Structure 1
Amino acid sequence: MKTIRKIGVVLKEGCDIEGGQFAIDALQKHIPMDDVVRLDEKLIKNQDPLYLDAVVDLNEHLKKSVKEAYDRGEFPLVFGGDHALAIGSITGVAQAEHAVLWIDAHGDCNTEESSDSKRIHGMPLAVVQGHGHPALTKLVDQAVDSKNILLIGIRSLDDAEEALMKQWGVRWLTMEEIRKQGLEWMQNEVMLFARQAKHLHVSFDCDSMDPMHYPGVNTPVRGGFVSEEILPLLEAVLSLDNISSMDIVEYNPTRDPNLDTLYLIQAIAKLLETQLRRN
């Protein structure tokens, strides 16, 4: 069984939404971290993209921490903190033919040109493909091929972002499609993709879930998954022996009064541990 290396990332600057900086403190009470990566506050300044230097520096440190764990034969499990941290969690493990399963309400495929908000948490999946601001893409040693990416749960794309995704050849399953075709169809599509991967990183954004049930997120979008839908899928995906790493992101404890979102994160972490023990 691989040892899980739990890495917490204290980060809200990628989304610039208050509350996300408390995610790791809240999670630590239930999921002890092996390492915590923090942003250098001296680097925080208003830039385009927003807080660029600080987010780049944090991802450099996270990439190093993830790579060291991966090279030791450990399984990097990264918690956050906004989705900008996926730049570091993916570049730390990315090899040739590395695939990414991205579970999210959003596409996160904006660049600094396409983004209206200029927030980096809307850009990480573009960056790991080698697209975007040079200060961000310099972190990419091995770009992820667009054909090796599948997004699920999508229900909020910017027009310019969607055009880029089509141009690059990224594939995604919207919640509308999933509701129409059914959960069995979704699981079949995901497992077909996942089994073909040489190495697979799973990126789980808490806003993929329905905020009526799991409100503790930075950018909620109505109509997401419930636990009875997502946990069986993750159980199947995480049982595969090609899983390399995972991140669980965008938790905002200030919006989670009953801790429903936190308990979901805890359940996913326990599920991963169980599946790795079986592999």
Structure 2
Amino acid sequence: MNKKMSILGVPMDLGQMRRGVDMGPSAIRYADVTKRMEKLFYEVEDLGDITIKRNNGMIDDTHPLRNLQAIIEVNTILSDLVDKVIKKGNFPLVLGGDHSIAIGTIAGIAKHYDNLGVIWYDAHGDLNTKETSPSGNIHGMPLAVSLGLGHPHLTNIGSYSPKIKPENVVIIGARDLDQGEKALIREKNIKIYTMHEIDRLGMTKVIEETVMYLKERTDGIHLSLDLDSLDPHDAPGVGTPVLGGISYRESHLAMEMFAESGLITSAEFVEVNPILDERNKTAEVAVALMGSLFGEKLI
């Protein structure tokens, strides 16, 4: 991987209703993410946090999407910053914030690749649109938006759409999908490893297949990791916990195998909510997984 890294925090909780996830970047920094990366001989530049204006959380009468305009503004800024990081030759590591920030992250990254691959490591598909979303929460929509599906002001951030192709996406760890998401996965033939496949195949096989699948068809791979992909026992500080998730050790194995592949070109870690956490446990898990992703080894 690129040994020059830029860290960017996006302390936004506007994509959902539960407060606290806006403190995620601070919690991850408190867990010594920069020091961990520097020990792995990365040259780290911390760009700080994007300023987020507070919002009342209401749904506009003209559409069912909560905080739409504010989320557009933040993701437009994020897209521009990530674009600059890549132009400078640095690896972008984005800290969330809720998962709606992936809209801006991917918008800033995908313009630099002809076929960007995306690994969506998450308990949820995040493939809803305003027609299928039960809540109007945009943190359940970023993967759909990146595929060009959804409100045009979201899909056209960065002035192009779509950002990625469905055949270049792999979802890992899903165990809570809405009906509309299931239909879209089948329609677009999106590759997915639910907890059923992880249990049956084992994480080693899942990651081997994921790496081989994306290596053959992409020229860069973005990892979008939602901490609710892990079981709540291992990562309690998330807004939408789902029982029966990926274990801490399985996640380390996945990150270690991604590191060995040398294919990950950008990453984001999202949905750490310190208010719901136990002594910053989830942020520390996030930083530990980053350590494995960026080459940390026991021996």
| Shorter-chain TM-score range | over 0.9
CA spacing shift, 1:44–1:157, aligned 2, 3 Å? closer
User: Which range moves more in the overlay, 255-264 or 101-110?
Assistant: 255-264
Deviation at 1:162, TM superposition (A): 0.9
Aligned to 2:9: 8
Confirm whether residue 240 of structure 1 aligns to residue 246 of structure 2: no
* Contact 1:112–1:132 (CA under 8 A) maintained in structure 2: yes
Equivalent residue runs for 1:105-254 within 5 Å = 105-139=123-157, 141=160, 142-196=162-216, 197-254=218-275
Tell me the distance in 2 between the aligned counterparts of 1:18 and 1:40. Answer: 14
Measure, in 2, the Cα distance between the counterparts of 1:219 and 1:43. Answer: 21
Match of 2:50, SS state, is: strand
Counterpart of 1:25 in structure 2 is 26
Q: Structure 1 residues 114 and 216, CA, compared in 2 at 3 Å: closer, same or farther?
A: same
Query: What CA distance in whole angstroms lies between the structure 2 residues aligned with 1:218 and 1:37?
Result: 21
Residue matched to 1:261: 282
The separation in 2 between residues aligned to 1:272 and 1:186, in whole angstroms, is: 16
Whether the aligned pair in 2 keeps the contact of 1:44 and 1:53 (CA below 8 Å) is no
Distance 1:239 1:182, change over 3 A: closer
Greater alpha carbon shift after TM alignment, 138-147 vs 12-21: 138-147
Do residues 39 (structure 1) and 52 (structure 2) align?
yes
Quote the Cα distance in structure 2 between the aligned partners of 1:50 and 1:227: 33
Q: What displacement does 1:161 show? A: 1.4
Question: Alpha-carbon deviation of 1:239?
Answer: 3.2
Structure 2 distance, partners of 1:96, 1:76, is 18
Letter of the structure 2 residue corresponding to residue 40 of structure 1: K
TM-score normalised to structure 2 length? 0.87
Unaligned runs of 5+ in 2: 35-45
1:134 deviates by 0.8
Paired residue type of 1:171? K
Shift in Å at residue 198 of structure 1?
1.2
Task: Count matched residues.
Answer: 275
Q: Mind listing any 5+ residue stretches in structure 1 that lack a counterpart?
A: none
Which residue number in structure 2 is paired with residue 104 of structure 1? 122
Distance 1:45 1:184 in 2: 43
Task: Specify the SS of the correspondent of 2:77.
Answer: helix
Separation of aligned partners in 2, 1:62 and 1:266? 21
| Other structure's SS at 2:9 match | strand
What CA deviation, in whole Å up to 9, does each residue of 1:193-216 have, x standing for no partner? Answer: 242221100000000000022101
Task: Tell me how far apart the structure 1 counterparts of residues 207 and 24 of structure 2 sit (CA, whole Å).
Answer: 30
Q: Tell me, yes or no, if the aligned pair for 1:8 and 1:36 is still in contact at 8 Å.
A: yes
More off after superposition, 133-142 vs 99-108? 133-142
Distance 1:62 1:183 in 2: 32
